Amino acid sequence: MFLAAAKEAIGARGVFHVALSGGSTPRALHELLARESFERKVDWKRVRFFWGDERCVPPDSERSNYRMARETLLQPLRIPGEHVFRMRGEDPPRAAAALYEEVLALELGADWPRLDLIFLGLGPDGHTLSLFPGTRALQERLRKVVANYVAKFREWRLTLTYPAVNAARRIVFLAEGEAKRDPAGRILRRKPGYRELPASRVRPRDGQLLWLLDQEAGRDL
Ligand code: 6PG
């Protein structure tokens, strides 16, 4: 699926804009993509890396989504720094969000804010990106990147908003394990109240939505 998205984007526009997800689930994907067999199949010099969200922490923090991707994907593939556009978690949150909007506008140009591929995770509470239940960012209809305070973690986050994520050509949820069974099942089977789960409102306006679940996460389907 990654190869198909890269091939289509590079063939059509000469560049592939992909946004990585945070959390731990994407590690396995990154390790797969960094394997020798994949390295030869993608024209990596035409790939530009973005993030869907970031914790407001320095880039070398254990909690940094950028750091996880750097260690599991970017360094192994020797991706040059100028092709990597991280959210600056070390900056004041609102300034970092505003700056990232400009970065996206500059890099995506006429396509803004349409990314070619966005990987998303799913939280046990049905959050995705840093769009957590009950937080302000869920209401954002204009901005493409916002700072979002997540009370349950007492932490500021940076996140793409629904207008940004739903502009994508392809969106792929990766979810594994028993903890994701309930939110995945409720959303995908549209059980009563599923719309309260933030991940349920990820619906690309003009693009593909794919859910990749393992046995446990997909048990209710
Ligand atoms: C983050 C993510 C978040 C994550 C889910 C799932 O910054 O943590 O963007 O939305 O994808 O919480 O996390 P796991 O993959 O660790 O279960």
pLDDT above 90 (res 213): yes
Give the model confidence (pLDDT) of 133-182 as tens digits.
Answer: 999 999 999 999 999 999 999 999 999 999 999 999 999 999 999 999 99
Domain covering 2-213 in this structure, CATH number: 3.40.50.1360
- Ligand 1 atom closest to Cα of residue 52: 9
Q: Helix or strand or coil: residue 151?
A: helix
Q: What is the mean pLDDT of residues 59-84?
A: 98
| 11 Cα to the center of ligand 1, angstroms | 31
- Ligand 1 atom closest to Cα of residue 176: 17
| 29 Cα to the center of ligand 1, angstroms | 14
Measure CA 97 to chain center. 15
- Ligand 1 atom closest to Cα of residue 159: 9
pLDDT (0 to 100) of residue 145: 98
pLDDT (0 to 100) of residue 27: 97
Q: Residue 104: pLDDT band by 50, 70, 90 thresholds?
A: very high
Place of tokens 């009563």: 192
Name the helix (H) or strand (E) containing 184.
Answer: helix 181-188
Tokens of 20: 């990585």
- Ligand 1 atom closest to Cα of residue 121: 11
Residue nearest to atom 13 of ligand 1 (CA): 23
pLDDT above 90 (res 39): no
Dist. CA 165–CA 88, nearest whole Å:
19
**CB-defined site of ligand 1, < 6 Å:** 21-25, 53, 65, 121-123, 127-130
pLDDT above 90 (res 37): no
Give the domain ranges of the chain.
2-213
Residues 48, 19 contacting (CB under 8 angstroms): no
- Residue among 185, 29, 199, 50 at smallest CA distance from 115: 50
Place of tokens 């070398």: 60
